[in-house]
Amino acid sequence: MASLMDNLVKVLEEENAQYERLVELAKDKKQAIISADVDGLEKVTEQEQLVSGVLRNLGIRRDAVLKDMSDVLGKNFEEMTITKLVGYLEQQPKEQERLSEVRAKILTTGNQMQEWNRRNEELLNQALEMVEFDLTLFKSMRQAPETANYNRDACNTGDLLGGSGFDAKQ
């Protein structure tokens, strides 16, 4: 059981390190969004995908260790969580404390990551609103105003004035 606990703590610490890396990448992403650096944003996204792949592999390793631990403890793997495992370790306070500390670190890092993702989402939404505003502005600049011409049925004909600038002759 001690070697399983060491393996679990090691995997959880590695996961926390990867989540901390995602927090750092989120900070870089914020800077890329603010400065409208599309190439920088693309590079950050590629790095995030690499970290996500590492996290996926660590998750598989974590689940394998938890499955082994649930077998040793005689518990159902489907219901096994780190929090429940901490509760099962009442007879081993040292192991219980190690696991609690790692769990707390991961939760703190996860909350930081969630906050940075929320901020970056907000920045991206604002950037999209600005792009939409710019596109609308450019469209309206190229479109001439409608005339006040009406047909027999008193409906606006939708005729446009000349859109080529001034009509003055020189």
**Total number of domains in the chain:** 1
CB atoms within 10 A of CB 82: 17
> Which residue range forms the structural domain that includes residue 45?
2-120
The 10s digit of each residue's pLDDT in 121-165 is: 999 999 889 889 888 888 777 665 556 666 777 676 665 555 555
Residue 164 lies in a domain: no
In a domain, 40, yes or no: yes
Is the pLDDT assigned to residue 101 strictly greater than 90? yes
* CATH number reported for the structural domain that contains residue 87 in this entry: 1.20.58
Tens of pLDDT, residues 9-46: 999 999 999 999 999 999 999 999 889 888 999 999 99
In a domain, 136, yes or no: no
Give the CA-trace dihedral at 21, 34, 118, 109, to 10 degrees. 20
The secondary structure of 86-135, three-state, reads: HHHCCCCHHHHHHHHHHHHHHHHHHHHHHHHHHHHHHHHHHHHHHHHHHH
CB atoms within 10 A of CB 134: 10
Residue 26: inside a domain, yes or no?
A: yes
What's the pLDDT tens digit per position in 38-54? 899 999 999 999 999 99
pLDDT digits (tens, 9 = 90+) for 40-89: 999 999 999 999 999 999 999 999 999 998 898 888 888 888 888 888 88
Rounded to whole angstroms, the Cα distance separating 143 from 92 reads 76
